[in-house]
Chains A and B, each alone.
Chain A
């Protein structure tokens, strides 16, 4: 599934990275400990998190995530958003908590190989 389809289906707000929504999603990873996300998430994943610190962009670039999804309507810090634009990482926001969002996205077939 492409990011653009997911944005519609899961009712996500696009904070930045509109031009990159053609990316394919390979699966997803949930985590708020960036050390864990660096160790265990995979290339092409959408990353579902509560964290809004600037470092999330660096982690996403390193792991080549397709996008970051912030849950519970969390808003990225200003410097985080600026960095995400520079680094071509889309930041999407959901008003759902992580559990509900991950369940919903799973029901679309993402993560089932």
Chain B
């Protein structure tokens, strides 16, 4: 039976240089529960080092978390990539790391903290996570699909790091599973402005970098249960599954 589940599928943890240090595994899960979200995805820039800890905390708190990453292409297009399991997201991470140059300067960009399930600092990532990979957006979308993941165009209304700002328009051959609109634009405005892309589902997420922003924008999924596979089916409207944004 299909039921309504509320999701925020784009949340940055303290691993992202721009994410606040309070975005720890436990605090993110607590905030998501407090905001009555049924499931979330945690997606850090070019890294998935906190996914394992977050999955552990989520399990103890009966919240579904979809492993994710937000990957930056050579054109500086951001792609929100969702995966079925930890192994897949870590495999994507190793491909991204092999194509990511530079070292982080925490004074300029911020700390990149690996946390554990007790919200203790386990370490720091020294790669330049804010940087762009040497992978084209086409390569990223294809690679995500090879790992059976879902590739979503991040915040297509934004004037930086979106496929439309960087490439002018969404290339037809780019097989995005969904398009994300940000909190900066109303749903009505987005539907008008991006009518030509409405063949693909639109989702809306917070892109939170601090706790209070979690669930600022959400997507409603009419699915059987909160899971990666159900989200995948909802994107294709299989068996009456659907998506709502408001």
The answer to whether A and B come from one shared complex is yes
| A53 touching B165, Cβ below 8 Å | no
Closest residue of chain A to B160 (Cβ to Cβ) is: A33
Interface 1/0s, chain B 161-189, versus A by CB < 8 A? 00011111101000000000000000000
Min CB gap A31→B, angstroms: 10
Q: Is A37 an interface residue (CB 8 A)?
A: yes
| Binding stretch for chain B, among A21-29, A54-62, A85-93, A105-113 | A54-62
Q: Which residues of B contact A38 (CB under 8 A)?
A: 168
Bound Cα distance from A91 to B167, whole angstroms? 17
Q: Which of A35, A55, A77 contacts B159 (CB 8 A)?
A: A35
Q: Which of A11-54 contact B (CB under 8 A)?
A: 32-35, 37-38, 51, 53-54
Bound Cα distance from A38 to B168, whole angstroms? 7
Closest residue of chain B to A37 (Cβ to Cβ) is: B168
Q: Which residues of A contact B171 (CB under 8 A)?
A: 53-55
Min CB gap B206→A, angstroms: 24
Q: How large is the interface on A (under 10, 10 to 19, 20 to 34, 35 or more residues)?
A: 10 to 19
* Inter-chain CB contacts under 8 Å: number: 32
Known contacts A51-B75, A53-B75, A55-B169; A35 and B137 CB within 8 A of each other? no
Q: Which of B136, B137, B159, B166 contacts A34 (CB 8 A)?
A: B166
Q: Which of A35, A54, A59, A77 contacts B165 (CB 8 A)?
A: A35
Q: Which residues of A contact B166 (CB under 8 A)?
A: 32-35, 51
Q: Which residues of A contact B75 (CB under 8 A)?
A: 51, 53
Interface 1/0s, chain B 84-108, versus A by CB < 8 A? 0000000000000000000000000
- The chain A residues found within 8 Å of chain B, CB to CB, are 32-35, 37-38, 51, 53-55, 58-59, 77
Known: A37-B168, A53-B167. 17 other contacts (CB 8 A): A33-B165, A33-B166, A34-B165, A34-B168, A35-B159, A35-B166, A38-B168, A51-B166, A51-B167, A53-B136, A53-B171, A54-B171, A55-B168, A55-B171, A58-B169, A59-B168, A77-B136
| 13 interchain pairs, CB-CB under 8 A | A32-B166, A34-B165, A34-B167, A34-B168, A35-B164, A35-B165, A38-B168, A51-B166, A51-B167, A53-B137, A54-B171, A55-B167, A59-B168
